Chains A and B, each alone.
Chain A
Amino acid sequence: MTSFLDSIGYGRWILHVLLLLPVVGVVPVLLGREAWAKWTALVVTLAEFVLSVGLWWSLIPGLGDMQLVTNAVWIREWGIAYRVGIDGISMVMVLLTTSLMPLSVLASWRYITSRERGFYALMLTLLTGLLGVFIALDMFLFYVFFEVMLIPMYFIIGVWGGTNRLYAAIKFFIYTMAGSLLMLVAIVALVWRVRAVTGQMSFSYSYLLEHASAAGAAAPWLFAAFALAFAIKVPIFPFHTWLPDAHVEAPTAGSVLLASVMLKIGTYGFLRFAVPFFPQVALSPAVSRLMVALAVIGIIYGALVALVQPDFKKLVAYSSVSHLGFVMLGIWGMTLQSVQGALMVMISHGFSTGALFLLIGMLYERRHTRLIADYGGLARVVPVFSLILTLVALSSIGLPGLNGFVGEFLVLLGSFAAYPWATGIATTGVIFAAAYLLWAIQRLIYNRLDDRENEHLRDLSFRELAVLVPLVVGIVWLGLYPRPVLTRMEPASRKFVEAVMPGSTPAATLGATAAIPGSGR
């Protein structure tokens, strides 16, 4: 495979094509007939996926550096350039995005019935924005993509959403915008600070990373700005309330992409920017304790609030708060195991939660309600749907052998050395996760079928199976054989941990990890 990719020069053009193709695809979507829009979008996103698959083989094994790097001058005076590239972490995030995109388009097939051209054009723009965020190696470019993905999502929620869509969309927009503006200020400030020390102005990620210590006394403030922007995106308690509203109002595809990819941009931002730029701040005892505490609060709080949601979509939204708490804990656990676990949770959550949103969307298309109380006893009527729902729920619960377990286990295992108490409390999340999902499952598909409207629901169609089966395969595969993914991410994770840890860590963490053979470094 590698030699074939080399023969076509794959590594040289692939990232540009991935960024450009969706935007180019917008043209035929907008100019073509209304009825063709979804077909065009499907073809483009599928092509995008097929093209992206080659990335799997195009990284040098064992190397944690950025690869397939392109560096083209854009605005010379300000040191802004079109810089892109990937490492194992961004490669996996890119694949997650490109694999979920065609499924989201397929899931919108019947759900979106008005202004289809606009919808699919926005979906394609969103794809470029999402991919750009993961592969940009220039802070200005990153910021541009960060904004580019925000706007399509705003419209997707605001135009094709549910009854309260405007409130949700504006809340989503203002929240994210507030964070990202702060981040912009921080980026500019960092660039200026670095210039003041080195005499060179550059938005290059690697350059800034190398000279980030120039931030000096401003580092805590800059970190705070980055952290706030990403904390809103994740979202970390107490910045999470936009999420349930956005999810409930968004159309299925919006919810899927929001949960599966966009939330990960928050945690990705911590891994890529906030922590590596300012490790002294990020890993200072006070900040570490705060972040770990917020992560654990998120895990427990999200699960408990999910428990009592009458709306299934809201339940899943709060469960995301809980799952993303594991990611944050893993990042601050700061061992190879916990960071790899955090990444696995990001991927698994993309699959499981994406699938849950797809499933509830399918139910909504049939019955036009998301209230759990309106269902019950569905297993008799729609057995295939029920089977898949059960499997996906089990993966979300973290049943070992399915994907959810791998990440959660690694996060907890890796964080335990540094934060035994917090990790112990976080582990109780496995109990609450079982409680909220199994209770919901019971009220949806078990119990007596007592609503006559549910008696004649259709089971999944071929198209719906085509959407779900790839996710189910992924859920089982990642659960039983996560090794290929883990080994591809490991060099980058190792680099992250090693770059961030030395000399800058609180004595307790360093002492603990040094004294304990199992810290994995």
Chain B
Amino acid sequence: MHLTHMVWLAVALPVAGFLVNGALALWRPQAKTAVSVVGAGVLLAAFVVALGVFAGLSNDPSQAPVIVRLWSWLPVGRLKVDFAFQVDQLAAVMLLIVTGVSSLIHLFSIGYMREDPGYARYFSYLNLFVVFMLVLVLGSNFPVLFIGWEGVGLCSYLLIGFWFSDKVNADAGKKAFIMNRIGDFGFLVATFFIWRAFGNLDFAYVSEHAATTLAPGGAVVTAITLFLFLGCTGKSAQIPLYTWLPDAMAGPTPVSALIHAATMVTAGVYLVARTNVLFAMAPVSSAVVAGIGAVTALFAATIGLRQYDIKKVLAYSTVSQLGYMFLGAGTGAYASGIFHLATHAFFKALLFLGSGNVIHAMHQAYHATHSHEDAQDMRNMGGLRQYTPVTFWLMLIATLAIAGIPPFAGFFSKDEILAAAFARGADAPVYYVFYGMGVLAALLTAFYMARLMAMTFFGENRTGERERAHLHEAPWIMTGPLVVLGVLSVIGGAINLPPFIGGHAALEHWLEPVLEPGLRFSHLAMPTGSAEYVLVGAAVAIGVIGLWLGFRVTLGRSIPVARAAPPDRGFARVLSRKYYVDELYDALVVRPLVWLSRVVLWRGVDQRVVDGAAVNGAAVVSRLAGGGLRLLQTGQVGVYVVLFLVGAVWILRAVMR
């Protein structure tokens, strides 16, 4: 048997981990060592399996896609949905990223969650998440992908609301699930369209037959892709369904790193790449994808400028970076989207885990002195580089990476996306606008990251006199995984080095067999020569300027601690209140819906009209009629018999006629 056929093991291992840790959570919650060994162990083993699968595939790429059929899931007539995995180049890349980053974050969690009473429950959820994430990236058809798609949403829900006794956390979890469901509605409708058009739901079948089944640019393919993209906006937190992601930061920080930065939220980008041929055949939808991506990248970056919670900054940053990935995918640069997905997984996971170390240190300090200050508010930090030096240097690397400074990983991937958008502008000028938004967002990205670093690590420490003595670097189990991510954030760009500095776009070539059907429809002539150098130079300059401005503006004035800070005014207030979008949704959707349901439908239609007027009204009428008819109830059997006969004859006459 070929190595690629072992792929089911990568899923089975975390399934086992979930079951064991779930049982421990119920019956032996104190067995933390066992939980750690099982929880992280299954992931490391799954990573090894992933390496094997990858090796198997690269030894013999011609066999792809390999379909590993496990059982027949939904067989109804012509519909044949197998529970099957598909190993191809795209799945293999995702498999490596998911198991690799997950392994690191599981290890980190051993340290971060050590003291939590829900330790075993946490690891069982985290294992379950990996199961679903792998089903998502490996599923060989739309319904199986959907198992993973909704499953990761479920785990996200459970982990956001992990500390459920606090209503805010439980609210955030529920919000995430429901907003994702709005997207899932789109996914389902797209699936129905695909079934109607193809009579088949397998990815391989759809990409092979799309060109002959659908009219390029036609209504059907446009509808399919727009509904699919609605699903993406939910899962990957794009406008208009992005508001759940910042709230999702209520969950434990490693969860934010794994689910809400590195893996789950990138599922939408994966889905577009997976169905690239459909998007390539629908230029209008692709422009929508790119446009929403560009607008989201810029919009979220502006909000990131004015957040004080360190995790909220990173959350909006994630929304913004996901926007870049969609800009790439919508432009037809699917490989660049996946490239940015990969590098973002490294540096954003690093940033979140780094922020976890910072919060951990702050929390310990406040805990030791029994203070009730906000351990996540950057206004309470400052000068932390003395206390947490390892974390500082690692986060600095990640900051340079996300700001697009060469030779760090983010530079290459972001640059490719922007260059692609610029190139697409030659056929469709609207992409020049998207490119401009992307560049502006890059400036803001560098700015808010510099602000984050400056407020956290530079300047005077604002944590407090007594607390300062308790600020410590995190233990090695937490810094170790960060070092690995740090290395990847530095050299991660190497997986797809562009030709102009002597690379040969390895990732792009690797993914070619998967992306080829789409590329046939939308070929992209990337800029070369001097145009390329100008674009690259501009991108680097933007990053440098943004960083410089960010540090200068932030360090240029004194920062009051959170408790003593004056409220924001003017536009700063609009930004820190996130443009009031949550309030808007609440007023326009949530409250009218509840009002409609409660006042109109339930109390009105159900209780007054149907039950009150119709049903009980009929009862009153029949009671009155009964009062009259009672006169007939003489109690004499003979009368009854006569009435019965009359009635029966009457009915029979009516029937026989």
Contact = CB atoms under 8 A, between A and B. Distances in A.
A518 B199 contact: yes
B34 interface: no
Nearest to A398: B150
A518 B75 contact: no
Interface in B116-171: 143, 146-147, 149-151, 154, 157, 161, 164-167, 170-171
Nearest to B83: A480
A306 to B, nearest CB: 8
Interface string A468-489: 0000000000001111001100
Interface residues of B, number: 63
Given A307-B594, A394-B154, A516-B196, A401 B147 contact: yes
Given A192-B655, A434-B177, A446-B170, A481 B73 contact: yes
A442 B151 CA distance: 19
B167 A413 contact: no
Contact of A305 (B71, B199, B602, B655): B602
Contact of B76 (A399, A410, A442): A410
A238 B614 contact: yes
A514 interface: no
A337 B593 CA distance: 32
A520 B76 contact: yes
A414 B593 CA distance: 29
A335 to B, nearest CB: 8
B195 A447 contact: no
Interface string A364-399: 000000000000010110011001000000100001
B656 to A, nearest CB: 6
Interface stretch (B181-189, B366-374, B628-636): B181-189
Given A305-B602, A424-B189, A480 B77 contact: no
B170 A486 contact: no
B615 A483 contact: no
Given A340-B76, A387-B26, A447-B164, 15 more contacts: A218-B655, A301-B605, A305-B597, A305-B606, A308-B594, A399-B154, A400-B149, A400-B151, A410-B76, A410-B79, A413-B79, A424-B189, A447-B165, A480-B83, A521-B77
Contacts of A309: 602
16 contacts: A192-B656, A193-B655, A240-B610, A301-B601, A336-B78, A337-B77, A377-B165, A400-B151, A412-B192, A416-B192, A427-B188, A438-B174, A446-B164, A448-B165, A486-B74, A518-B78
B611 interface: yes
Contacts of A400: 143, 146-147, 149-151
Contact of A304 (B76, B147, B596): B596
A516 B199 contact: yes
Contacts of B652: 192
Contact of B73 (A238, A430, A483): A483
B178 interface: yes
A175 B123 CA distance: 52
Contact of A438 (B77, B177, B199, B619): B177
Majority DSSP secondary structure for residues of B touching A: helix
A188 B650 CA distance: 13
Contacts of A486: 74-76
Given A340-B76, A494-B77, A518 B198 contact: yes
Interface string A284-299: 0000000000000000
B191 interface: yes
B641 to A, nearest CB: 19
Nearest to A239: B610
A429 to B, nearest CB: 9
Given A431-B182, A518-B199, A447 B75 contact: no
Contacts of B161: 442, 446
Contacts of A188: 651, 655
A387 B121 CA distance: 11
A366 B178 CA distance: 31
B72 interface: yes
A196 interface: yes
B552 interface: no
Nearest to B157: A438
Nearest to A380: B165
A186 B629 CA distance: 25
B597 A518 contact: no
B610 A430 contact: no
Interface of A: 171, 174, 185, 188-189, 192-193, 196, 218, 238, 240-242, 301, 304-305, 307-309, 336-337, 340-341, 377, 379-380, 383-384, 387, 394, 399-401, 406, 409-410, 412-414, 416-417, 420, 423-424, 427-428, 430-431, 434-435, 438-439, 442, 445-449, 480-483, 486-487, 490, 494, 516-521
A37 B597 CA distance: 44
B26 A383 contact: yes
Nearest to B151: A401
A520 B147 contact: no
Contacts of A308: 594, 597-598, 602
Given A238-B610, A308-B602, A434 B74 contact: no
Contact of A196 (B72, B146, B173, B656): B656
Contacts of A380: 165
Contacts of A171: 615
A409 B74 contact: yes
A480 B15 CA distance: 14
A483 B189 contact: no
Contacts of A517: 78, 198-199
A494 B656 CA distance: 35
> Nearest 10 pairs between A and B by C-beta?
A518-B199, A517-B199, A520-B77, A416-B192, A446-B164, A308-B598, A446-B170, A304-B597, A336-B77, A400-B147
A438 B173 CA distance: 10
B165 A410 contact: no
Contact of A307 (B72, B195, B597, B610): B597
A483 B196 contact: no
Contact of A430 (B164, B184, B192): B184
A127 B534 CA distance: 81
Contacts of B171: 442
A483 B72 contact: yes
Contacts of A383: 26
B165 A483 contact: no
A353 to B, nearest CB: 19
B181 A430 contact: yes
A438 B72 CA distance: 31
B174 A305 contact: no
Contact of B174 (A242, A409, A442): A442
B71 A520 contact: no
A521 B79 CA distance: 10
Contacts of A379: 164
A423 B192 CA distance: 9
B615 A241 contact: yes
Nearest to A415: B192
B169 to A, nearest CB: 8
B202 to A, nearest CB: 13
Contacts of B149: 400
B137 to A, nearest CB: 16
Contacts of A445: 164
A417 B220 CA distance: 13
A427 B165 contact: no
Contacts of A387: 26
Nearest to B602: A305
B178 A435 contact: yes
Nearest to A483: B72
A172 to B, nearest CB: 12
A305 B604 CA distance: 11
Contacts of B606: 241, 305
A486 B77 CA distance: 10
A256 to B, nearest CB: 23
B77 A482 contact: no
A433 B62 CA distance: 45
A481 B71 contact: yes
Interface in B606-623: 606, 610-611, 614-615, 619
Nearest to A447: B167
